[in-house]
Amino acid sequence: MFVTGVLLAAESSPHLGVPWQLLAYHGETLLGSTLETARECGFDQLIVTLGSASEQVRDRVDLDGVRVVDSPHADTGSSSIVPALDAVDRRTDGIVVLVGDQPGITSAAVWSLVAEVAGPATPLGISQYDDGPGHPVWCAREVFGDLGQLRSDDDLWQLTGQHPITQVDAIGNIPPRIRTWDDYRRTVSGHTPFAPAAFDGPPPHTPLPTHPRRRRRSPH
């Protein structure tokens, strides 16, 4: 199976006042750290979307071996997934969507997700944490047409009401996203209690189907 990773890093950071992509994180930039995790996943192709901070990011972050897609309108809420689709390799069976401001996502979570959707055809695969659904998200090629109609990246969750989904258990709570200085301070200090600002799953008005297929990882 040919799998493409899509790391979304085009949105700006209005609550931070500086590009979140370049915040210091564990001896690296925040985007550099999440990009390194994406590389560890061993995707057949890796795409990163960049927005208004593209020039600064290119100067500071190692993008070697990564297909970069500019999405200059992401700051106004436009989907960066849509332009990324044009760069997806024609051999791709599906994409795994990650977000660059969520450093707590692990390569193990990605491997578990891909392993579960690699069998019978699975249009959508969603990571199910102890406190709800979140990234990484699997989208098979058959849903690319719907992905191409997204108005924003958050609209990705609306597809859960249009296609069968498989929920794959992930360890712990949803890793917080860094959208404010409080998020950043909690994350770098190692104190990351779940908070509404860290929510990664579908908005409350977009519930997941009540009877999705769910697969649990083997304890071994």
Whether residue 144 is contained in a domain is answered as yes
Q: Could you give the CA distance from residue 135 to residue 177 in angstroms, rounded to a whole number?
A: 11
Its pTM stands at: 0.85
Q: What is the CATH number of the domain that holds 73?
A: 3.90.550.10
Whether residue 35 is contained in a domain is answered as yes
pLDDT in tens, 22-48: 999 988 999 999 999 999 999 999 999
Q: Which domain holds residue 19?
A: 3-215
**β-bridge partners, 95:** 4, 139
* Apex 77 CA angle, 71 and 83, nearest 5: 30
Give the tokens for residue 215: 């697969």
Give the pLDDT of residue 219: 38
Whether residue 149 is contained in a domain is answered as yes
Whether residue 58 is contained in a domain is answered as yes
Whether residue 220 is contained in a domain is answered as no
pLDDT band with cut points at 50, 70 and 90 for residue 193: very low
CA distances from 175 to 10, 77, 87, 207 (A): 19, 23, 28, 20
Percent of the chain scoring above 90 in pLDDT: 63
Whether residue 207 is contained in a domain is answered as yes
Residues 6+ apart with CB under 8 A from 160: 124, 126, 202, 206, 208, 209, 212
H-run or E-run covering 162: none
When divided into structural domains, the chain yields a total of 1
Mean residue pLDDT across the chain: 85
Q: What's the half-sphere exposure (Cβ side, CA atoms, 13 Å) at 45?
A: 20
Q: Decide: 89 and 5 in contact? Cβ < 8 Å.
A: no
pLDDT in tens, 75-95: 777 899 999 999 999 999 999
Whether residue 16 is contained in a domain is answered as yes
Q: Give the residue-averaged pLDDT of 132-150.
A: 94
Percent of the chain scoring above 70 in pLDDT: 85
